């Protein structure tokens, strides 16, 4: 190898390393700048307070509210039963506990602890995260179905199907999701629940399902366009070949077009679903305590907005990143096949 080539390669390597260094310095600079700014307003970072919003230990106590004698105690399968006799009355106390603090024969007074236990509980952020995941998954599931049928209807020759699909897609894509959530909850929700009450179903539908419906119908419209584009990207010759063999429209779709379109649909679909996970943060406004609403509640009580909003963003990032990895894996597997 000649020297000038070695020199050139070395130079290239050095300039690459310099750029990498620049990137990390920029990142460190941003973080340092932000931190410095928070010091200027005397913000106290208390990261140690954050973990308790993920999991925390809760002490549960079984308390007495009468004065009397303990006649019997038992602790079975994590449930404590304590009987207290007051004159002729026997009161029975029953509840979750790990240990019993009284023995038969003890005299107890109101507010005495009869039994207690310490339990690990999922914090509000984890509960919010789970709800976000749940809402998103249900919405994705229905969104795929709506989108598949919407997309097929969109390219159908039947005007009833086609125009319904076009109207649906244009209405949904032309208005903000926030407004659609309000319509689902305040208009359709009120209508449905009032009608249900009128016909004897007192409980009605909980807000969660109107939130899911809003997200599913929203995603469905976008998926429909993705499906349409995927199908139309398959060369016309494929349909012609299938139809020339005597296959019906449905058979050629099922066996020839959709399997090929699927491959092209997966990447834009992944993007759409990641949007959906993020858009689910809007559901907080109709009292669904998903991750963002949960964070807002914690911020109100803890007065640590900086830490918590960063944590919230990080949790969304973890969700979306995991999801996109999963879809990439699916795509690779489909390609191998």
Distance, in Å, from the CA atom of 75 to the CA atom of 115, rounded to the nearest integer, reads 9
**Neighbour-count burial of 181, counting CB atoms closer than 10 A to its CB (0-12 exposed, 13-18 middle, 19+ buried):** buried
Token digits of residue 147: 């989108």
Q: Is the dihedral of CA 41, 42, 44, 45 positive or negative?
A: positive
- Are 108 and 70 in contact, with CB atoms under 8 Å apart? yes
Nearer to another protein, 127 or 247 (CB): 247
Q: How far apart are CA 143 and CA 212, in angstroms?
A: 10
Binding region for another protein (CB under 8 A)? 235, 237-238, 240-248, 251, 255-256, 259-260
How far apart are CB 153 and another protein at their closest, in Å? 22
* Eight-state DSSP code of residue 282: G
Asked whether 158 and 97 are in contact (CB, 8 A), the reply is: no
Question: Phi/psi at 164 (nearest 5 deg)?
Answer: -60, -45
Which CB sits closer to another protein, 49 or 260? 260
* Least Cβ distance, residue 250 to another protein (angstroms): 10
For residue 156, the minimal CB distance to another protein (Å) is 17
> Least distance in Å: CB of 232 to another protein?
16
Shortest Cβ 159–another protein spacing (Å): 18
Beta bridge partners of 100: 115
Residue 173 vs 235, nearer CB to another protein: 235
Between 131 and 227, name the residue whose CB sits nearer to another protein.
227
Nearer to another protein, 7 or 251 (CB): 251
Q: How far apart are CA 2 and CA 176, in angstroms?
A: 63
């Amino acid at each position: 190898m000649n020297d000038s080539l070695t020199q050139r390669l070395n130079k290239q390597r050095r300039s690459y390393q310099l750029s990498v260094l620049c990137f990390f310095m920029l990142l460190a600079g941003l973080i340092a700048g932000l931190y410095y700014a928070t010091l200027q307003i005397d913000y106290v970072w208390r990261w140690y307070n954050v973990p308790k919003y993920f999991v925390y230990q809760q002490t549960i106590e079984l308390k007495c509210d009468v004065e009397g004698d303990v006649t019997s105690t038992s602790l079975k399968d994590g449930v404590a039963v304590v009987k207290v006799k007051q004159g002729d009355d026997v009161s029975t106390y029953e509840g979750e506990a790990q240990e019993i603090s009284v023995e038969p024969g003890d005299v107890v007074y109101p507010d005495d602890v009869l039994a207690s236990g310490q339990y690990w509980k999922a914090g509000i952020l984890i509960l919010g995260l789970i709800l976000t995941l749940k809402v998103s998954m249900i919405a994705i599931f229905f969104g795929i179905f709506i989108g598949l049928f919407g997309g097929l209807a969109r390219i159908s020759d039947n005007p009833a199907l086609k125009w319904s699909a076009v109207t649906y897609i244009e209405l949904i894509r032309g208005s903000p999701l926030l407004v659609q959530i309000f319509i689902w909850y305040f208009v359709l929700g009120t209508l449905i629940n009032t009608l249900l009450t009128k016909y004897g179903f007192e409980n009605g539908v909980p807000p969660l399902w109107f939130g899911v419906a809003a997200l599913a119908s929203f995603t469905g419209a976008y998926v429909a366009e993705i499906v349409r584009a995927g199908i139309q990207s398959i060369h016309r010759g494929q349909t012609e070949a299938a139809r020339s063999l005597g296959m019906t429209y449905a058979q050629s779709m099922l066996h020839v077009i959709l399997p090929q379109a699927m491959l092209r649909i997966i990447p834009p679909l992944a993007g759409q679903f990641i949007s959906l996970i993020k858009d689910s943060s809007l559901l907080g406004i109709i009292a669904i305590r998903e991750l963002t609403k949960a964070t807002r509640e914690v911020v109100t009580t803890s007065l640590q907005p900086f830490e918590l909003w960063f944590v919230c963003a990080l949790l969304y990032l973890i969700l979306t990143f995991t999801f996109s990895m999963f879809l990439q894996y699916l795509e690779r597997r489909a390609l191998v096949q």
